[in-house]
Structures are given as structure tokens and as C-alpha cells.
Structure 1
């Protein structure tokens, strides 16, 4: 009787189990073919956008799904970060960002609308880079010292310097340079590096501070001139450009980073899968060469390594911002 009863139960459950398996596989397959949205917090045409599109093109082949770059500019990446927080934690929405949005914004904005430690998880890092001071080709300055001397001739040392976002590391750098050389420099914030670059190319603003990738293409074309870079040593792609340390501005050696982040709660298996694909892409000679020419120092960082890098960088800048007397807005 018991055998008969087990047979009946088995007869009922077997089709049900098959149905559950079919539905589960179907959902997994649907999820696996869903496109991945790679958000960027700055407009098209800037350095971060160019980096994202370079990676997305190769990642789609490694992952077997479309990887679509979506620009969500505004407030130095703040809007994109808020959008990431509200996104599903299933690996279909990721955020490619540099240090400003993740490390700096929470230090300078009272209510940014997100907390990186609570709302995001690191996926993988892929590069470090340096910020730089560049001058417009419309100025006579050929070097950093030339620029300082030129500014001093402009109405008692007054000068406007473009920055990609307010309350950013470029803004603090402008402040440090002004204090060091007794220049009345004023930061002019833009909504990303692309509009800043447009004004520099049109000689509407004499100088700008941003990442080397923001300036590199136009520097090579002679349309702007990079005259100084951050970091402990000169950049391989800019061997003739001195560091701020060489110029007497120490304490600016810690390098910003680029990384990819996901909403909190994203499964570890999903994060690992994407990280493995990114590692393969970065190992491709053409990708490595292209990103290096843009001014990046390419190097894969696991989720854990990116988290460590982010914490260390944040600690350095938390002290610098506090020491500057800046009050969160």
C-alpha cells in the first residue's frame, strides 16, 4: 500500500518538478540574455564616456549580451549614482565611475542621495589615472611656469579655471595652486569635461583641470597643452610634462581610480562573472594600448581590491578636504 502511495505521489510530483525546472531555466535564460546598462555620470564626448564605450564594445562579446552605455549627466555623477541605487540588483544595471562620484561627493555634499558603503557593491576596477592642468592654445603659456607668469599679468593675478564638476578634486587643486603661487584663481564648474573642453577649444576659458584622458586627444593635436600632472612620477604618455610634486606642490601623489559598481544586493556570482569578463577584456593588447594612450594606467582590480582602493583614497581626501576648511554644501 505504501509503495502504491509513493508511486501516486511520485506520479503527481514528477511533472510538477519538471514544470518548476522548465520555468526556472526559462527565467535564467531570459535573465542571461538581458542587455546590461552601463551608466556613466557625464555627457557623451568626455573621457569617462570614451572609456566606457571602449570597454562596452568588448564586454558584449565576452558576456554574450549587449552592453549599452547610458549617459546620465548631472551634479558630477550624482544623478547616475542615485539611479543606480534605485536599480534592480540583478546585474543588468552597472555604474562606471571614477573617484569623484564614489569617494569625493559624499564628503562635500550633505545629502547626496546615496551612501556608497550601504547602497553599492564594487564589481571590479580597471585603471588609475592622474588629473592634470591644461591650458588653451589661445594662451601664450607653453609650460606651467609660463601659465603662472601669464596669469599674474591678467588683472592682479585673476584667472578662471574650468573644472568638470563643483566640489571636486580639480576644484581643490585649483585652490591649492592659487594659494601656492598667490594667484586669484576662480573655479568655473561645468557639467562634465566635454563642455569644459568645448570652451577651452573656443578660447572661452584659458585653463582647465581634469583627468588626463579628458585632455589627451586635444593635447596630441596641439589644441590644448597639458602643463602639469598629479602623481608621484611623470606619465609614460606625457614624458615631458612635470608632476606637481616636481613643481613644489607635494601631497598630491595618491592616484584616482576607475571602477564599476552595482546596486547593493547584487549576487556575488553575478559580480564575479562580470569581473572575469572585464579581466579578459583588459588583457587584450588593443584595449590595453588604447586605454594607455588615453592616459590611463591599466590594471585589473577584483571587487575586494577595488573596495580597498576606494577606502584608502577616500581617507586621504577626507583629511585634505577637512584641512582646507571646506564645508559640505
Structure 2
């Protein structure tokens, strides 16, 4: 047997095959690049772990940014916008007086931002006291986050109640977007005293009034209310008293869940109960079938709310007016 019979076949490819392989690889690279650049802002919105730690660590210094609401609400519409060439980023308008509108309010005013992403990129909204960078943002003021931004066409609401006068900013918290123009100023002045005094205590007049309210819920736990379900007679009836009245409220839990009662200025802030008007607490609520009483002196005139102070229950429907004349 000759030595040539033991030689292995050497495999070779043709120029045509090599060309096809290179074309396939080039196509994959082109498609991958297109996907990356079409979603550039999404990839750019990722905040590295080090940035997250820094943001979380600094957040404590601005924890005082959210304060106690006084009853006045300021509604603000905010829209993310970019120029077609993505060189100009702004709120509401790309130029002129409508661009990045300045907001004026007082300490305790509740500013409600109605945010919409009208751009073609990814954005996220927040309020900060920091004069530069993406934050730290004040708790409760965000719509979307840098890690989970708003897609084009999406939106949401955010609430900001300043506890101190000064200069704040509403921004896009996606890194780099504030520097590109997505920054508006919020000027907070000291409280005027009118609405801030609405929860003040007053001297009793000697007049006494009594009311009875009960927590009720639908069988499917989707409807929450006082005395009767929404749409039924007597549901969430107004309570009207006079300033200085000694008010006694008898509270019954006629539902199958746990509840607590209180009179507040802002139903979105159930922890701030006025005039020692609480019956039970979110930590120690009324069990189903239980009841309780509370007596207090109605404070300064104004429109307040009696609510279930268990977080989330007021928003689900256990929110009615307590009017002091």
C-alpha cells in the first residue's frame, strides 16, 4: 500500500461560498446595528449600578421635598418633545414662550403633573432640588424611571407638594436628557397662610353634633365607600358642621376587610389626620363587625375629607367631604 493511500482529504471552499458567508455575516452586523441605533435612547436610559447606588444614597438629603398638602391643587400639563433631528429636547414646545414653562406655587400647594411622552424617544419624569444631573428625584414625583422609561405615546400623573420654599426643577431623569434641554423650573414661595391655616384648631363653641358612618364594600371587593355603594342612595354623603362644633362620629365596619377612620386635608396623604379625629389606625385597624367612636372640635372653615386611612382605600372610594362652615 503506498503512502498516498493514507493521506486525508483536504477540504477547501470555493470563492462563491466564501462570498456568501461574508455576505451573511455582514447582513447580521447591519441588522444588529440598525436595531441598536433605532433604540439608542432606550439603551442609553440604563443607569449603571454605581449610578443607582449614588442616587439612592443621596435621596435622603431631599426626603423633605414632599410636604403636607394644604388643599390647593395646581394642575400642570407636561409633554416630552424632540426636534426631528434629535438635537433639541424640551417640554411642551421646542421654542418660544411655551417651552419648558415655569411653574409658580406656594409651600403646601399640591402640584399635579399630567405627563405625556409626545416624542419619538424614551423618557422619564421627576422633580428634583438638584441644580444638575438626573437627580436625586423626590419620592412620589416620578412617571417612569431611567430603567423603565415611558415609551412614545405613553403617560401618567405625578404629584409634588413642597415643604420648603425655594427653587425646584422638573426634568427628564434619563441620563443626558436634562442637559439636552428637558428641564423646567418650579418656584415655590412661602405659604400665603390662607389654605395652610385651613386645618387649624379653634376654640369650641359648645354646640354638639353627632354622625354615624359605616365602611361598606361590594362582594367582589371592587367597590369601597361609606354607608352605601357607589350609585346607591346615601353613598359617601357630605358631613357639614360649623367651625368650633364638638363633633362625635360613630364609625362601624360593615365590610369584610380592615379599615380606619380620620378627617384629613388631602386624601392622598392619609397619615396626616386632623384634630385627633382618628378611629383606629392602619397599623391597628377596625376588624369586620367592629365599631368605634371619636369626639373632636371642628377646626377652621374649609372643605376637608373623611376617609379610610388604610393606604389605598381612599383612592378606591372611601373618600367623602367633611365641610366646616
Give the TM-score of the pair, scaled to structure 2. Answer: 0.23
Flag the structure with higher strand content. Answer: 2
Greater gyration radius: 2
Structure with the bigger percentage of helix:
1
